[in-house]
Structure 1
Amino acid sequence: MLRYSSPLVQIIIVGVVCLLNPGMFNALTGIGGAGQLDTTVAANANVALYTCFAVGGFFAGAIVNKLGPSTSLVIGGSTYALYSGSLLYYNHHAHQGFPVTAGAILGLGAALLWTGQGAIMLSYPTENNKGKYIGLFWIIFNLGGVLGSLIPIALNWNGSNNGTVNDGTYIAFLVLMGLGALLSFTLLPPHKVIRDDGKPVEVQKFPKWKDELVGVFKLFLDWRMLILIPMFISSNWFYAYHFNVVNAGYFNIRTRSFNNLWYWAAQIVGAMGFGKFLDTPSLKRKNRGIIGLFILFVTVMATWSGGLVFQLTFTRNGEKRDFDIYDSGYAGKLILYILYGMNDAMYQCYAYWVMGSLTNDASILARYSGFYKAIQSAGGAISWRIDALSTPYLVELLISWGLLAISFPCTFIVAMKIKETNNEVDNEKTKREISNSENVEK
């Protein structure tokens, strides 16, 4: 029987919150140009979003530790509806100011939401369940992309020649995102969550904001976080290429919506299989990390090789492409786009899993999550800006692919240092840091 205080139930709730907030945002963004004919509007909004996300992410771990995950998710979730509303406004007034401003606000809110989510997902499960719970979250979260993609498909199917989605699409997203923010109120505080081994979630509390901020800046002295930066920065870099180049640059509006559906559905499959593998009981944790990284390397390199072949068939300044779902040769292009989505889920699952393998302390994992999202968002801001500057499509592909390639040897170094368990180390470290903090107060 499921307990409301169990990690499983709490992670399911977080998954649904993210389904309705960033999941719907992904469905909207994944159409290409956020459903607009002029993709520079969404590109500029995303530059503002990810720039603020990057700045906010560095401090979000400290804020989440002080406010608590539930409050952080409520505040962060409310900013998604504002962004959807700004695009509804743009449909009528064509002024970029509101979407760009809403994107900046969303960046700050997303930093809180994703840091709170990361702290919950990585610290609530026991060590032998982390891969499963990460995979479960990713499945639920990406259902948002799948279900959200059905909205523009249903509302715009007969308008395949139109360049933008209709008002009803943005209104539907706005309502669902608002519901997601409200659902965050149902989350329990971490100290009320009881793990499967019968122990409560331990959260190290510092009495002052200064102590929290010092903990954040100490991440820049953690060699493991520094060497994972290539993985972090490349983990969202390719979205501008996937959505604005491949999807918006080649297909018409209904086909973009249909592609988007399968992109996020593929993420569910990728997260389900890869998350399960990362918890394989017959393998030691380090071996799972190394083998999982090798599998990821092979699938990513193979997919982007196929992407290069496809990219050589069209350019940004060439003839305008309005490829339709019923045109000859569509199946092969859809398969490539599905593989892009599956790769994304596997890559992100591994990034979270490797961070979760470094510690079980909820407060430290909140900082790790914030650091990860900050670096990831900095990369996203740069990539969306590159796209907004009308960079040649092939150049965007090569940059994305190159960053992914660089990330693998760096991540391998961290994977080689993974320990079978962190329980004893975490317990001693927590006692020592709490004692030092209490001595400072005295």
Structure 2
Amino acid sequence: MSDMKSKDLPPPEESLDPLPTNVTDIAHGVNMEHYRATVPLWKRVWQHSLTQMMLLSIQAFCGPAMSDAITGLGGGGLATPQVSNTTNAITYAMLAIFCFFGGPIVNKIGVKWALVIGAATFPIQGSAYYCNSKFGNQWYLIFSGAISGIGTACWYVAEAGAIMTLAPSGARGKYLALWIVSRNLGQLVGGAINLSKNHVKGADGGVTPDTYIAFVIIECIALPFALLITPFERVVRSDGTRIVTAETLSTKMELKRIAKTMTSKLVMLSALWALWSFFYGGTWSTYLGTYFSVRARALSSLISPFFCIVGCFGLGYVLDMKHLSQRRRAQLGLYTVVILNVGVYIWSIIMQTKFDRHNPGHIDWEDGLYPSSFLPYFFVQTTGPLSQSYMYWLISSFATDAQENVRNGAAFRSIEAVGQAIAYGMNTQTTSNPLVGFCVTFGLLAAALGPMIMLVNTTPDRIPADVIAEQQDAVREKIEHV
């Protein structure tokens, strides 16, 4: 009996503290009646998976969304996009490096403290853009790219692991939609700030310095919400299930797992998709900064998130359809995302070809050319996030435990950041012609499609972590009845 316990049982129930040791049942979860009777309401609310996802989403709103809103100004809102593109290239180069080692770091210090470290660095970017706009301080802007890249890498890896782990299996699409929407709501608020301070017709150059102060204030709010994150082993999902966690590994073993993760079929087949998924950012930032007036760029950052909110919840509904197998949902999601992206890039290439023949100058929202030239950007702000949301849903379909989600998320984030660094670096050289960027991005999508189809066609019908959890609880139940 003792041999059976030590070999087959999952980690002891005290890891779920403050849950009592007798609250589990054969549904690999929590006896909710006993849980409600023994745990205070405030603690149950705090430990709820949806609460934790909301805390994470608020941080995404305050951090990455504000960064996206600045990018949405075109060239960071500066008079010329080159310094902003250089800064972003440095940021994503540091992100790629530190995300590569992010899995072991996050699994060692825990998701919560990785989020805290990252959230503490969020205000650096906004302050650097303010100093550059106010005082012409370019060195600080470039230096901030390196510091922000390191801190944000910690946050991104922890975020990736959390968003793929927190959701119950039947609601992963909707949870991921909540996360994506929170980032776009942040852009919505950022866009309102941009437009309120940069709405004067005929203004040229960069946005007003005061615009960045509002961003810095919002970026500072992320830190207290990061401190409210609870460890995975204490989370209770909305369907009453627990999160499967593995025992902590040594640093040496974690480093070995990096090589195993990076050479796994999952990462190898999704690598080109990861490289492509955020590649569009640098090109579209250059496109806005080159062809649109200040107030048109501000308006674009306000209205571009609207359709994304609808699109992400629509994709979430498709990915959570219970009458289809997980593999069929994965296939349907892939073809939906690809078809929408192909349409956007064909449109953008046609539009840029026209601009190469006849430079439109700085397009204002009152110009007749504004709708047709802006709409490709409007739609890519939906198709891009759809691609990312889908990929995280797909990766989480293969995970065996929370730590593996962190490692897989770190690998994906690292490759993703390499793509962003290349994209922004490329756009420092193509200062006034985004056509190269559009064509390269379109080509990457075409190259990524074949491996992704191979990966999607091997999607398991059930999440391995759920199967393992049920087996663990079955063993526990069997022992308790002996």
For the aligned pair, the TM-score class normalised by the smaller chain equals: over 0.9
Alpha-carbon distance between aligned partners in 2 of 1:197 and 1:428, rounded to the nearest angstrom: 14
- The SS at the match of 1:157 is coil
Query: Is residue 6–residue 193 contact of structure 1 (8 Å, CA) maintained in 2?
Result: yes
Which residue in the other structure is 1:406 paired with?
Answer: 447
Which residue type is aligned with residue 9 of structure 1?
T
Alpha-carbon distance between aligned partners in 2 of 1:425 and 1:399, rounded to the nearest angstrom: 39
Q: Could you tell me how far 1:219 is from its partner in structure 2? A: 1.1
Write the mapping of 1:19-418 to structure 2, written as runs, cut at 5 A.
19-158=61-200, 160-245=202-287, 247-315=288-356, 319=359, 321-390=361-430, 392-418=433-459
Alpha-carbon distance between aligned partners in 2 of 1:425 and 1:150, rounded to the nearest angstrom: 42
Q: Could you tell me how far 1:337 is from its partner in structure 2? A: 2.0
Query: Is residue 307–residue 382 contact of structure 2 (8 Å, CA) maintained in 1?
Result: yes
Q: Could you tell me how far 1:205 is from its partner in structure 2? A: 2.8
Alpha-carbon distance between aligned partners in 2 of 1:420 and 1:90, rounded to the nearest angstrom: 52
- The SS at the match of 1:275 is helix
Q: Could you tell me how far 1:207 is from its partner in structure 2? A: 4.1
Structure 1 outlier segments of 4+, above 4 Å: 317-320, 428-431
Deviations along 1:122-163, whole A, 9 cap, x unmatched? 111222211111111111221111111111100111164231
Which residue type is aligned with residue 255 of structure 2?
L
- The SS at the match of 2:137 is coil
TM-score (norm: length of structure 2) = 0.85
Alpha-carbon distance between aligned partners in 2 of 1:17 and 1:360, rounded to the nearest angstrom: 26
Q: Could you tell me how far 1:35 is from its partner in structure 2? A: 0.6
Which residue type is aligned with residue 87 of structure 2?
A
Which residue type is aligned with residue 422 of structure 2?
I
Query: Is residue 149–residue 260 contact of structure 1 (8 Å, CA) maintained in 2?
Result: yes
TM-score (norm: length of structure 1) = 0.93
Deviations along 1:394-423, whole A, 9 cap, x unmatched? 211110111112112211111000111134
Deviations along 1:148-203, whole A, 9 cap, x unmatched? 11111001111642311112111111111011122211111111101234232222
Alpha-carbon distance between aligned partners in 2 of 1:343 and 1:54, rounded to the nearest angstrom: 23
Alpha-carbon distance between aligned partners in 2 of 1:82 and 1:318, rounded to the nearest angstrom: 39
Alpha-carbon distance between aligned partners in 2 of 1:425 and 1:169, rounded to the nearest angstrom: 46
Query: Is residue 74–residue 185 contact of structure 1 (8 Å, CA) maintained in 2?
Result: yes
Number of equivalent positions: 429
Q: Could you tell me how far 1:320 is from its partner in structure 2? A: 6.6
- The SS at the match of 1:164 is coil
Query: Is residue 80–residue 177 contact of structure 1 (8 Å, CA) maintained in 2?
Result: yes
Q: Could you tell me how far 1:318 is from its partner in structure 2? A: 7.0
- The SS at the match of 2:247 is coil
Deviations along 1:34-74, whole A, 9 cap, x unmatched? 11011011000011100000001111111111111121111
Query: Is residue 134–residue 209 contact of structure 2 (8 Å, CA) maintained in 1?
Result: no
Which residue type is aligned with residue 429 of structure 2?
L
- The SS at the match of 2:354 is coil
Which residue in the other structure is 1:435 paired with?
Answer: none
Q: Could you tell me how far 1:215 is from its partner in structure 2? A: 1.5
Higher mean alpha-carbon deviation, 48-57 vs 418-427, is at: 418-427
Alpha-carbon distance between aligned partners in 1 of 2:399 and 2:241, rounded to the nearest angstrom: 16
Higher mean alpha-carbon deviation, 334-343 vs 12-21, is at: 334-343
**Identity of paired residues, percent?**
24
Check 1:328–1:18 CA distance in 2 against 1; reply closer, same or farther (3 A cut): same
Check 1:116–1:226 CA distance in 2 against 1; reply closer, same or farther (3 A cut): same
Q: Could you tell me how far 1:20 is from its partner in structure 2? A: 0.5
Query: Is residue 359–residue 426 contact of structure 1 (8 Å, CA) maintained in 2?
Result: no
Query: Is residue 95–residue 417 contact of structure 2 (8 Å, CA) maintained in 1?
Result: yes
Q: Could you tell me how far 1:430 is from its partner in structure 2? A: 11
Q: Could you tell me how far 1:100 is from its partner in structure 2? A: 1.0
Higher mean alpha-carbon deviation, 5-14 vs 190-199, is at: 190-199
Alpha-carbon distance between aligned partners in 2 of 1:96 and 1:257, rounded to the nearest angstrom: 22
